[in-house]
Amino acid sequence: MQLSGNTVLITGGATGIGFALAEALLEQGNEVIVCGRRRPRLEAARARRPALHIRVADVSRASGRKALVAWVLRRFPALNVLVNNAGIQRAVDFLHGPRDLPMADEELATNLAGPIHLSALLIPHLRRRREAAIVNISSGLGFTPLAAVPVYCATKAGVHAFSLTLRHQLRQTRVKVFEVAPPIVPTGLSGERERPEETAFTMTPQAVAKGIVDALRRDRYEVALGAAANLHRQRDKLFHAIND
């Protein structure tokens, strides 16, 4: 798709992969709006990139999603790209029965219900644009799950299935559906410190952003980046390698 002149909403775009993508898209001449729950992080992002538009919004809640969509469409009627990037990852241990379920519910609401509902709310608008896209950020762990974060992996497998079916349902519209699965990226998501260098298993947020931009430019609808490509290809063998 055309990589300039778009109006893009990136959920969770104040930090990590979302912010790196926001920077890359600003540089290509796009209007970029980012949202998140914490205002100080949004303000810090805008201080680094004054062209960014920011909005406090919680995409895990129906009221947050509705208010966000109403605001965005009022302020940015040219919106033509939704990036479902906001996500959380929690260690959930089923040996403790229901103890961790509140965290699991939070993951389901943010990582899976968020993208599904936001897509549904915005599709009528996106269908009226000349060219439009929904970009879902899944994960290599949606293909080969890591047992320590079981619900996270289930939400990302769900994002993958949703992307496939949404792409099929929208195939005769002008709305393209992309899915990009990053590998491990040292961001606040997993609590690792941010590292500028890449290893065999990790990528920087900037490299992931480059991969997303490349997928959009070349209309590559399902992309697994770096080590996530292995998780995508060799799912059963690797499940035992990382969990046994």
Select from 11, 30, 144, 230 the one that contacts ligand NAP (CB under 6 A): 11
Catalytic residue among 143, 152, 162, 178: 152
Residues within window 19-48 making contact with ligand NAP, judged by CB under 6 A: 35-38, 41
Cα of 13 vs its chain's centroid, Å: 9
Report the greatest alpha carbon distance in the chain: 52
The answer to whether residue 221 is catalytic is no
Q: Rule CB under 6 A: say whether 87 interacts with ligand NAP.
A: yes
User: Reading across the β-sheet that carries 222-224, which strands appear in turn?
Assistant: 53-56, 31-36, 7-11, 81-84, 132-137, 175-181, 222-224
CA 119 to each of CA 15, 126, 127, 153: distance values in angstroms, whole numbers, following the listed order: 22, 9, 11, 20
Asked if 186 and 197 touch (Cβ cutoff 8 Å), the reply is no
Q: How far apart are CA 60 and CA 58, in angstroms?
A: 5
CB of 244 to ligand NAP, least distance (A): 22
204 binds ligand NAP (CB under 6 A): no
189 binds ligand NAP (CB under 6 A): yes
Residue with tokens 């644009």: 129
- Contact with ligand NAP (CB under 6 A) among 7, 30, 80, 110: 110
Contact 227, 198 (CB under 8 A): no
Candidates 10, 69, 72, 137; binder of ligand NAP (CB under 6 A) is 137
- Region 151-170 residues binding ligand NAP, contact defined as CB under 6 A: none
Looking at 53-61, 93-101, 126-134, 161-169, which segment touches ligand NAP (CB under 6 A)?
53-61
Distance (Å) of CA 109 to CA 87, 117, 137, 159: 10, 10, 15, 12
Q: In angstroms, give the least distance from the CB of 220 to ligand NAP.
A: 17
Residues designated catalytic: 152
Name the site residues for ligand NAP (rule: CB under 6 A): 11-12, 14-18, 35-38, 41, 57-60, 85-88, 110, 137, 139, 182, 184-185, 187-190
